[in-house]
Amino acid sequence: MAASIVKRVSRVKKLNVSHISARYKLLTGSSHFSTSKQWNKALVLGVYENESTDSIDFTGTARKFDEKADGKISQLLLTVKKPLKCGKTRTLHAVDPEFSSVLVTCIGKRGEGYDELETVDKGRESIRAAVAKAVLQLRELGENEIEVDSCWDTEASAEGCHLALFSYDDLKAEKSRKPAVRISCATRYSQDKNSMEKEWRKGAILAEGQNLSRRLMEMPANLLTPTKFAEIVKEQLADKCEVLVRDKDWVESMKMGSFLSVARGSVEPPVFLEIEYKGTQSDSPLALVGKGVTFDTGGISIKPSQGMDAMRGDMGGAACVAGSLLSVSKLQLPVHVKAFIPLCENMPSGSATKPGDVVTAMNGKTIQVDNTDAEGRLILADALCYSEQFNPSLILDMATLTGAIDVALGAGAAGVFTNSENMWNKLQKASVRSGDRVWRMPLFNHYTKKITECQLADLNNIGGSRSGGACTAAAFLKEFVNNKNWLHLDIAGVMSNSGDVAYLGKGMSGRPTRTVIEFINLMSKETKN
The residue type found at 100 is S
Q: 289 pairs with which residues across the strands?
A: 340, 397
Contact 469, 374 (CB under 8 A): no
Q: State the Cα–Cα distance between residues 125 and 112, nearest whole angstrom.
A: 10
The catalytic position among 90, 178, 248, 303 is 303
Burial of 194 (0-12, 13-18, 19+ CB in 10 A): exposed
Q: Does the active-site annotation cover 377?
A: yes
Helix (H) or strand (E) holding 62: helix 60-68
- CA-nearest of 509, 507, 339, 527 to 434 is 509
Q: Which residues of 290-303 are buried (b: 16+ CB within 10 A; e: fewer)?
A: bbbbbbbbbbbbee
Question: Where does 110-218 have alpha helices with state H?
Answer: 122-140, 154-164, 193-218
C-alpha distance from residue 193 to each of 65, 150, 196, 466, 481 (Å): 16, 11, 5, 55, 47
Number of neighbours of residue 53 by Cβ within 10 angstroms = 11
Long-range contact pairs involving 278-281 (C-beta distance under 8 Å, separation at least 24): 278/242, 278/336, 279/328, 279/329, 279/332, 279/333, 279/334, 279/335, 279/336, 279/337, 279/524, 280/334, 280/335, 280/336, 280/524, 280/527, 280/528, 281/336
Q: What is the length of the chain? A: 529
Q: State the Cα–Cα distance between residues 256 and 253, nearest whole angstrom.
A: 8
Q: State the Cα–Cα distance between residues 513 and 331, nearest whole angstrom.
A: 14
- Phi then psi for residue 452, to 5 deg, are -95, -20
The catalytic position among 124, 234, 291, 377 is 377
Helix (H) or strand (E) holding 376: helix 376-387
Alpha carbons within 13 angstroms on the beta-carbon side of residue 355 total 10
- Phi then psi for residue 291, to 5 deg, are -70, 125
Q: State the Cα–Cα distance between residues 124 and 163, nearest whole angstrom.
A: 14
The residue type found at 201 is R
Residues belonging to the active site: 303, 377
